[in-house]
Amino acid sequence: MDCSRCNAKNNFDSEYCCECGMTLKRGAIPAMDLQDIIRLTYITYKNNFLLLFMFSFVASTPLVISTVIPWPFNVLSIFLGFAAYVFLKSLGALIFCQIFVKTTVRIETCVDWIITRWRSILVGTLLFVAVLIPGILLSFFIIGIPLLLYCLVAFQFYIFIIIFQNAQGAQSLLLSRELVTSNWWRVFGIIMLLQLIQAFFQLIFGIPIGEISQSASQLMLVFYGILETTLLAILFPIEFLTTTILYIDLRKRKYGYTIQEMKMELKGIID
């Protein structure tokens, strides 16, 4: 957070300026650079690891099950896994906001909040997937890769816009694109860095896990499933924490988003 008196850079959670001692504006959300986003993600993850891991473990289970069930019997598990991922991303965003404003984490309230918006989340997700399909199909001819990357970044925050701003259907995608406008390359860079971090850990731990899965033993397959689920549960929170923080930062930079506005939008979720 930058001090309005001496322009000194302070930590995002500082109450007083480290240089001049001035009381920093209450309720302000500081504009965060990459270092700040990584630091806030790390602190939140470290201090709430067990809570985040528990929900991520449950949500990642269907995806892992789909890898050990033969086609076409794994189709249902894939859909359940994708639905669990969307739910987890929504839940993670609300939990982060409760942690961010230092209020009590109330899981049942967050779940109720998501349930009341399930239709908007479903429609928004279907539209998001529909928008990606042309880019996916054209990516076989290389020409579609830029289109696919643009859509992935531009519409990345649709689910947060539904959760925070109660947007409906296509409106959530349009507002996401508007939010990313003039920040596309910055968002792209952060998302790519996030994917590289996840890919690194999956490569390091995924190879020995994959070797275990080659065993014909049913016991080994169960053990493989537990290890794979644990790995995903460790990585999932990093993704939804980082994207939530990035969404809040983009709103701060573009519209001057404040904690008071967050409390008004999430009334009942945070005090």
**Would 216 be classed as within a structural domain?**
yes
- What percent of the chain stands above pLDDT 90? 41
Q: 23 and 149: one domain?
A: no
Q: 77 and 150: one domain?
A: yes
- At residue 81 the predicted structure's pLDDT band, cuts being 50, 70 and 90, is confident
pLDDT at res. 119: 93
CB proximity list for 250: less than 8 A, separation 6 or greater:
157, 179, 180, 183, 187
pLDDT (tens digit per residue) in 253-262: 888 888 889 9
pLDDT at res. 104: 85
Q: 21 and 127: one domain?
A: no
Q: 8 and 53: one domain?
A: no
**Would 47 be classed as within a structural domain?**
yes
pLDDT at res. 105: 87
**Would 232 be classed as within a structural domain?**
yes
- What percent of the chain stands above pLDDT 70? 77
The rounded distance, in Å, linking the Cα atoms of 221 and 218 is 5
**Would 185 be classed as within a structural domain?**
yes
Q: 9 and 69: one domain?
A: no
Phi and psi at 4, nearest 5°, equal -75, -15
> Is-contact 187 246, C-beta < 8 A?
yes
- At residue 152 the predicted structure's pLDDT band, cuts being 50, 70 and 90, is very high
Q: 1 and 74: one domain?
A: no
**Would 270 be classed as within a structural domain?**
no
Q: 15 and 77: one domain?
A: no
Q: 227 and 180: one domain?
A: yes
Please compute the mean of the pLDDT values over residues 142-159 and round it to a whole number.
Answer: 91
- At residue 268 the predicted structure's pLDDT band, cuts being 50, 70 and 90, is confident
**Would 271 be classed as within a structural domain?**
no
**Would 223 be classed as within a structural domain?**
yes
Please compute the mean of the pLDDT values over residues 187-205 and round it to a whole number.
Answer: 85
- At residue 42 the predicted structure's pLDDT band, cuts being 50, 70 and 90, is very high
Torsion sign (Cα): 253, 255, 258, 262 = negative
Q: 23 and 43: one domain?
A: no
* Mean pLDDT, all residues of the chain: 83
User: What string of DSSP letters covers 181-212?
Assistant: TT-HHHHHHHHHHHHHHHHHHHHHHHHHHHHH
- At residue 124 the predicted structure's pLDDT band, cuts being 50, 70 and 90, is very high
Indicate the length of the chain as a whole number. 271
CA-to-CA dists, residue 267 to 19, 121, 184, 229, 262, angstroms: 35, 19, 30, 34, 8
- Predicted TM-score (pTM) of the model is 0.84
Q: 110 and 229: one domain?
A: yes
**Would 258 be classed as within a structural domain?**
yes
> Is-contact 157 203, C-beta < 8 A?
no
Please compute the mean of the pLDDT values over residues 47-69 and round it to a whole number.
Answer: 80
- At residue 10 the predicted structure's pLDDT band, cuts being 50, 70 and 90, is low
Q: 16 and 146: one domain?
A: no
pLDDT at res. 243: 95
Which structural domain, as residue segments, surrounds residue 139? 34-265
Structurally, the chain folds into a number of domains equal to 2
Q: 101 and 233: one domain?
A: yes
